[in-house]
Structure 1
Amino acid sequence: MKNFKKIAKENKTLTIGAILVLFLFSLMILSFIYLPHPPNTPSSANQLKPPSATFWLGTDHLGRDVFSRILLASRTAFLVGSASVVAGLLLGVPLGLAGGYFGGWFDALVLRLLDAMKAIPSLLLALMLISVFGTGMSVTILAIAVLAIPLYARMARNSAIQLKNLDYIQWTKMIGIPSSRILFVHLLPNLRSSLLVTASLGFANAVLTEAGLSYLGLGVQPPDPSWGKMLSEAQNNLFNAPWLAFASGLAITLLVLGFNLLGDGLRDLSDLHRKE
């Protein structure tokens, strides 16, 4: 407990990021327990109502409660963010570890592949995948995961290059331990702090990318709500109902900011432990 209080006091970036993420995660949990109004039920009598005691964040152009939809859309943000980060790690980390560990032509091939993926603008690559597989939540997760492969692969590769020449790794090779065991039992555990930092930043990128795709109508499709889609719908009533854009825009900003601060704070904490 003392260490926790010390970290919270000294690492303000980590503390603020954790508070923001926990706050929005709590809203996501709340969406399973309580929704003030049916989030997907239109009401012609309640169109574009301003914030009030009945509708805390007002209503949209179809009369749907914005607060209820913000809560429900938080599920989409956390689901897409979590699933795409996990998928990106599963695809990118083994590739990067193998490239850094084996070196030679295989590492050169991995680097060329990663360079080719980075050379294509992320939005264009996502549009290419969506044009092939269609729209929807699963395709959005796949597209974001593929976009994140270079990020995770390069992190794993750089770590593998630094670690593979350590004495205990060389010793495991000399006694004939299989390369797969060396990669996943001896090298991978040393990536824990780097994985946490990269995954936090990757989560922020995933949320922002999902919001952008949904804003363009290419991401999560109705009836599943998305903060990006809500922001797109709000632009038609930006001046007569500004609360619509404010609510969804603030939700995106807070979650992305929270995970970015969390990642930066974890990096600072990791660097401090290395120095000690």
Structure 2
Amino acid sequence: MATLHRAPVPALRALVATVWAHDPSPGAPASPGAREHVLPTGATHIALRLDGPPLRIYAHAADPLGQQLGHAVVGGARTVHHLRDVSQPSASVGAMLRPGAASVLLGAPESTLAGQHTPLDQLLPASEVAALSERLRACGDGARRLALFEHWLFVRARGRPVVLHPALIQVLQRPAHPGQRVADLVRASGLSHRHCIALFRQVTGLTPGQWLALQRFNQVLGRAVQPLASWSDIAAACGYADQAHLANSFRDITGLTPSAWRRQMDPVEPRHVPQVLEPRPRPP
């Protein structure tokens, strides 16, 4: 299995945070029933599967059927994990967008995409999505696929720059720190509370409170991938009241306890964690 994950070409960096391409190992076997927890980033994502079955997601661990979405989807900003089917190996390509980029690239503000997956051909002409997928499938490897995908993003963005309110740029670029509150963001913006929250939701899909919670969660993940970092130290460094507070918040966001996440995660891909089903108790 090979995953290429990098910053986009300079011409796209105002719109796109990262791009990636994934190729399964040759002859990789199917894993019937396999699912994974996909942990939130707080950003909008575009993803295209190039072979195998369409993307299928599940509402919760006990959901037997899930929802089939298609091969090309937009994942809006989320505050909690979702479960997806990974039973069949598949090649894919995608991008994580910056705030405000969805309006430029997809014609839809982040606020209308948040908390859900939307088929790409519901936002763009189906013929364009089909042609892009066909051209991507014809690429020989992940590097060529990424170059083609970036060119498609560049063409869609040409002449349509991201225009964010200057006050919002200041807020989004402000480094998050433990103890930071929504009132701090609003005050830094210089806007009224209502105006700041409305603008923030439009370009991120999140409220300032949700964004701050995810910034803190991101800091937790950054520290927790180090195996010797203790959860109590991480809780203190990231502004949680105590380790129990961190554990409860972590479980709400990921669907896993901190210890279960650490046992199962891959440090290279800490936001993609195999689901481990608990054995059912035997009947008496």
Q: Shorter-chain TM-score: what band?
A: under 0.3
Q: Structure with the greater relative contact order (CA < 8 A, sep ≥ 6): 1 or 2?
A: 1
Larger radius of gyration: 1
Larger relative helix fraction: 1
> With structure 2 as the length reference, what TM-score do the two structures score?
0.24
> With structure 1 as the length reference, what TM-score do the two structures score?
0.24
